[in-house]
Amino acid sequence: MKLLISNALIVPMTQEGTYFRGDIGIDGKHIVFVGEADPGFVADRIIDGSFHIAMPALVNAHTHLSMGLMRNYKDDLPTLQAWLGEIFPIEDKLTEKDILIASRLGLVELIQSGVTTFADMYFHPQASAEAVLETGLRASISITLFGSLEENKTRVFDRERLLSPYVGRSEGRIQVDCAPHAIYTCPKETYQFAHSWAKDHQAILHTHLSETMQEVQDCLKETGKTPLQYLLDCGVLKDVKSLLAHCVHLTDTEVELLKGLDSTIVHNPSSNCKLSSGIAPISTYFQKGISVALGTDGASSNNNLNMFEEMHVASLLGKVYKPTGYTLHPYEVLSMATVNGAKALGLEKKIGQLKAGMEADILLVNTHASHLTPLNDPFSALVYATQASDVDTLLCQGRILMEGRKVMTIDEDQVIKDAQKSWAEVQQR
């Protein structure tokens, strides 16, 4: 099918300050032009972009999709470890069916906030992959590792087998990566195995790192090293692509070490605040040339998957805490949620920008709203004023996932009913 998005205010994310009024032509999965319409292009369908910003769909680079079942549960505990002490026992009760239902719930929320692509770390990844196929999004589905090497070897090979059919049916929308959870839940042998697996499969190693000061202090006490230095000395991260979630408490030495790695820090500002983990010095990372993407973490520690809210919080915290004095600009914050997120997942040749040849992952923001009037600077408007509810239309690979705020690929009401029932059953176990 050929689609034409006409007369939109286009924010292509190709260069800071660049935006213009124009058209976007889509043929099948791909963008064929951006800006001036090709006179020879005959569209099967025209989407009116008037009063809309057209921009790349968002990338949520770190989440635990199915944790939406535990939204608004065990909030306001003093530390991450105290919270995990309450969450882990509930997670032990979740079945594969619960995770399928919770994944659908999370995917509806992602669609409604303009996200087409996400990096997930959770149990029963085949259930999340099934929900991704149903809803039409794209994902990095990580095989999540906890505990000893021997049990994880079995888990990886089993999950790899279960995920393979979903990858084959996804038209390039699902990739399988590997996620040793954290240094306090996985011994070095598990990390080394994950590193080797990721290298052999040209996959991404996705992990939590330096999320809390307690994690750093415990690592120093047990190994004499900070978390990043510990992993590097174990032979981990040096020659694989990695996603490092949180990185709230990196030392200056660790920041310098990151420059030599193919690593992206994933900033999760709302979760970091809610769990009292701290404020990551993101402006410093930008100033040092380190790639930073954006994530929501799970909906049980956030308590939503709203990437527009995450951009807003990231921008504000980046102004409150700027050790070097460098101030984040709205374009940089938008880059975290688009270009940098795409690069973090190895998808920079497919998504993250609006230009000919890229896959048509596009969102339309309805600007005909009091809180977006006058628009003035669209970059500022997107970061400081836009709400998830302003996302009107979302496309992934040229397929319309939502239009006029109606999710097109799955029954939202049924998803909500199923999630309510599932959570009630979990609590009775």
Bind-site residues for Zn(2+): 62, 64, 208, 297
Q: Name residues whose C-beta falls within 8 Å of residue 419's C-beta, 6 or more positions apart in sequence.
A: 68, 69, 101, 102, 104, 105
Q: Name residues whose C-beta falls within 8 Å of residue 226's C-beta, 6 or more positions apart in sequence.
A: 210, 216, 219, 220, 250, 251, 253, 254
Bind-site residues: 62, 64, 91, 181, 208, 211, 297
Cβ neighbours of 410 (radius 10 Å): 17
Cβ neighbours of 38 (radius 10 Å): 12
Q: How far apart are CA 289 and CA 187, in angstroms?
A: 31
Q: What is the layout of strands, in order, in the sheet containing 58-63? A: 58-63, 115-122, 138-145, 174-180, 204-209, 241-246, 263-267, 292-294
Dihedrals phi, psi of 14, to nearest 5 degrees: -100, -20
Q: What are residue 263's DSSP bridge partners?
A: 242
Instruction: Rounding to the nearest 10 degrees, give the CA dihedral for residues 170, 199, 238, 205.
Output: 40
Contact 18, 339 (CB under 8 A): no
Classify each residue of 157-169 as buried b or exposed e, where b means 16 or more C-beta atoms within 10 Å of its C-beta: eebbebbeebeee
Bind-site residues for substrate: 91, 181, 211, 297
Q: How far apart are CA 56 and CA 82, in angstroms?
A: 38
Cβ neighbours of 97 (radius 10 Å): 13
